Structure 1
Amino acid sequence: MAVQFAAKGHQVTGADTDPRVVAEVNAATTPFPGEEQLAERLAEVVSAGRLTATTDTTEAVAGAEAVVVVVPLFVDDRGTPDFRAMDAATRAVAAGLRPGALVSYETTLPVGTTRDRFAPMLQEGSRLLPERDFSLVFSPERVFTGRVFTDLRRYPKLVGGIGPASAKDGVRFYEAVLDFDARSDLPRPNGVWDLGTAEAAELAKLAETTYRDVNIALANRFARFADRSGIDIEAVIEACNTQPYSHLHRPGIAVGGHCIPVYPRMYLWNDPGAELVRAARETNEAMPAHVVDLLADAYGDLDGAEVLVLGAAYRGGVKETAFSGVFPTVEALRARGARPYVTDPLYEPGELADMGLRPHTGQPVTAAVVQADHDAYRRLCADQLPTVRVLVDGRRITDPALWAGVRRVVVGDGAGR
């Protein structure tokens, strides 16, 4: 986002608590790999002097007309948000906030947080009144890792202010820093959409991500039933989705990343009686253990078995393990007495070891589980793992023609339990 804003001609300062990230940005080095167009666009805006980075958030805010907050917010095992990082960032912003500035929270938040938690905190720290002395909006990120620049153009930018003046300033800001593709499938023109209140914008982000979690959970339930019934769920989903009111997602071993495993729990924090949302989250969390059950059904007793888990990343092509299915998959294998190894084309063995995973460095294994849908696994074949006799594909990405002679099980293909 900082690069996007700078590319529109604005002077941008990125603030981060990690000195390594700050140094890399100032050196025009991408702090994370795999983001399309980022390396070249970062180099361009840094060399032009339009983007710099600092660890001094308050000083950066003091010189800013607009402040965009994207500090992560996680929830604990009980679904309670951990606001410590967000509160610290908000206090740092408040200490430097100047009259007339705009503050926009893009971090996904429980409904009511912008108005009821952060507005008073900003007021206390700055001695400025929100809506009168500065503008305050919530405007959620709606981008997919790996294609952020594309998604910033593709989807409407949602804005909700704590009042009409804040909303007007928020809309004006995002119209000045973003570009939008023309789309004919929207109820109104693509661009910046004022949702009326910060609460509506907060709910919009929770609703769209919770929808995906519930949809995936439904697909996973269908897949488990299809396995028991000898039905290939992929053919069923393809057929259903030819009807315009059906948008079934695909089943799989795990739902990972910073968004879908987290935001339904934020919604439940607001609405604890939403049993549908709770059941969906529990269904998706149970899938790694279910896939290990599929392996045990096909392989036999896993006690002492050497099993290779393919993929540490939560999603193919992304070097990120936030809430990755690799961790519960390894845990379920260990609970069965197996000895799990992990490999991933994006991670070095030492990086895997640092995450508490046993890296695969050529040890013979007799079973394998595909956890991440890396493109490399589309070409993976039995000859590359000659001692494997059972492969469980949790992502339906491997080519069955390349696994002749190996028992291959796919989630929802009708051959499993």
Structure 2
Amino acid sequence: MVYNISGRVVMSKLREIFRKRGPIRKVGVVGMGYAGIPSAALFADKFDFVWGLQQDPRSSRYKIEMLNKGQSPLKGEEPGLAELIQKVRTEGKFECTSDFSKIREVDAVTVAIQTPFKDSAILEPDIGALEEGLRQIGRNLRRGMLVVLESTITPGTTKGMAAGILHDESGLAPGKDFALAHAPEKAMAGRLIQTIQEHDRIVGGINRESTERAVELYEPVLTTGKIIAMDSNAAEVTKVAGDMFRDLQIVAANQLALYCEAMRVNVYDVSAGINNLKCEETTRAALYPGAGGHCSTKDAYHPERGSMPAEPKPDNPLDTGSLYVLARRINDFMPAHMYNLTASGLSRLGKRVEYSRIALLGWDSINNPDDTMSTPAAQYYNMLTKKGAKVTIHDPYVSGYNGVKISKNLVDCLKGASAVAILTGHSQYQALKPRKIKKLTGLQHPVIVDGKNVIDPDAFINEGFVYLGIGRGDKNHHDISN
């Protein structure tokens, strides 16, 4: 609201448009992926109707067909998701389509389109698909609608690029004719429904009216979570900063693990000790190290780009560079460390990577769901194959990846392997039996490299394996059992 010169309350143009339009009843969700699908199902459970909107290339047509049959196209374990999709389809409250003109029917539309790297060497996000999605929305945008970006974006994008595209395509003014906000997605693969409902939700509009309308959209889907309202720029920074702080925790664990290996110390004992050292001023929480798998690998670079046009420039010590970028580079090194451990294990047996058959277990980025974004397995695989190793790959959830053959048959994958490398902590790998694995390899002393601390080192060492694990300096130099 605004006040005129006499002190009378005068309703803003956008708020008056909302009053005439009424509450949010129909929603559109652009992007049927790990964020879009659970969000669409939850919105459909709370509002009158939801259109799921998916571009229709051959590679994603199956999503539309499966969702309209009441089935989830997402692989892996997602408690409650399949049942919720079936429920809202049966009730006639959800439908998936590639027809973006359906946006004209809705009161609010969210955009959950991935922004991956263009090139890992360039370290810039590819926003081409996001831009096209915004153009599609802009062509069908109507006065009084709400548009919310959920994608991870560089700070300033909502008020800048997004607002510009929507205005150019629709002729409508953001913040005056329609609401525009950023509400970064909170979906976590493996527990998508739970995290969206139970985690607090950041909601930031380009003005107060946009924020209020976005709160109206997200509040009904929360159970224990609460809304944290702010400006869209602050919301964009909050999203990437949260991932950056987690990156710092991860790099602290990974760097500590490398030190512990050199000093022949068990990093997990150290972590337990750190977590026990609590005091009033500090809550200590040491994360565990690993081969990789942090899905937000690009987020450390967003503030760098976002602050470039700022005046005055950020005040930093000279020649230090970004702490967050340094952390990301160390974390990006962990698949290479897995390679080094593999080569070390083979060397103890007089073998070389070049002539070895290696079984790679786990192509997923995280445990149990089918989520391959920024998978550490790709870097590890490329290093091995470049050296001439023959690599077989197993993952219970992933069928293929950019032409890389991935099997669901663990027995075939392990046959004849000189080394077995675990890169994902799938529950199936936690149940691996050393005697059975050794029999499948056909070797007296196979190598096993544990990148996720999912197996018992002593059980494999006693069976004759050469064991190496990230941070397991207490075990990596063991005598080879006969």
Instruction: Please name the residue that 2:8 is paired with.
Output: none
Instruction: Please name the residue that 1:346 is paired with.
Output: 397
Q: How far did 1:357 drift? A: 3.9
Distance 1:207 1:53 in 2: 33
2:87 to 34, 40, 44: 44
Contact (CA 8 Å) 2:414, 2:420: kept in 1 or not?
no
Instruction: Please name the residue that 1:262 is paired with.
Output: 298
1:21 aligns to 2:63 (yes or no)? yes
Distance 1:8 1:274 in 2: 47
Contact (CA 8 Å) 2:189, 2:371: kept in 1 or not?
no
Paired AA for residue 136 in structure 1: L
Structure 2: gaps spanning 5 or more residues: 1-38, 309-319, 478-482
1:298 aligns to 2:341 (yes or no)? no
Distance 2:93 2:456 in 1: 47
1:224 to 258, 267, 272: 258
Instruction: Please name the residue that 1:398 is paired with.
Output: 455
Instruction: Please name the residue that 1:120 is paired with.
Output: 164
| Aligned-partner SS, 1:340 | strand
Contact (CA 8 Å) 1:379, 1:399: kept in 2 or not?
no
Instruction: Please name the residue that 1:408 is paired with.
Output: 467
1:378 aligns to 2:430 (yes or no)? yes
Q: How far did 1:322 drift? A: 1.8
Contact (CA 8 Å) 2:450, 2:468: kept in 1 or not?
yes
Instruction: Please name the residue that 2:138 is paired with.
Output: 94
Q: How far did 1:329 drift? A: 0.9
Divergent runs of 4+, >6 A: none
| 1:1-150 superposed matches below 5 A | 1-18=39-56, 19-33=61-75, 34-57=77-100, 59-76=101-118, 77=120, 78-150=122-194
CA 1:153/1:347 → structure 2, altered by over 3 Å: closer, same or farther?
closer
Contact (CA 8 Å) 1:253, 1:411: kept in 2 or not?
yes
Instruction: Please name the residue that 2:31 is paired with.
Output: none
| Aligned-partner SS, 2:354 | coil
Q: CA RMSD in A?
A: 1.9
| Aligned-partner SS, 2:85 | helix
Most deviating of 10-19 and 339-348: 339-348
| Aligned-partner SS, 2:355 | coil
Distance 1:75 1:344 in 2: 24
| Aligned-partner SS, 1:246 | coil
Instruction: Please name the residue that 2:12 is paired with.
Output: none
| Aligned-partner SS, 2:330 | helix
Measured against aligned partners, the alpha-carbon deviations of 1:166-209 in whole angstroms (never above 9, x if no partner) come to 1111112212x31221xxxxxxxx421212x1000000000001
Instruction: Please name the residue that 1:168 is paired with.
Output: 212
Most deviating of 68-77 and 335-344: 335-344
Contact (CA 8 Å) 2:467, 2:476: kept in 1 or not?
no
Distance 2:183 2:136 in 1: 20
Paired AA for residue 356 in structure 1: V
1:317 aligns to 2:368 (yes or no)? yes
Distance 2:131 2:383 in 1: 36
| Aligned-partner SS, 1:29 | coil
Instruction: Please name the residue that 2:421 is paired with.
Output: 369
Contact (CA 8 Å) 1:12, 1:50: kept in 2 or not?
yes
Distance 1:26 1:233 in 2: 48
Aligned residue pairs total 401
Distance 1:223 1:361 in 2: 29
Identical aligned pairs, as a percentage? 25
TM-score, normalised to structure 2's length? 0.79
1:191 aligns to 2:226 (yes or no)? yes
Measured against aligned partners, the alpha-carbon deviations of 1:13-70 in whole angstroms (never above 9, x if no partner) come to 110013321121111111112322111110110010000111012x121001001111
CA 1:358/1:31 → structure 2, altered by over 3 Å: closer, same or farther?
closer
Q: How far did 1:160 drift? A: 0.7
1:330 to 366, 377, 381: 381
1:178 aligns to 2:197 (yes or no)? no
TM-score, normalised to structure 1's length? 0.91
CA 1:41/1:274 → structure 2, altered by over 3 Å: closer, same or farther?
farther
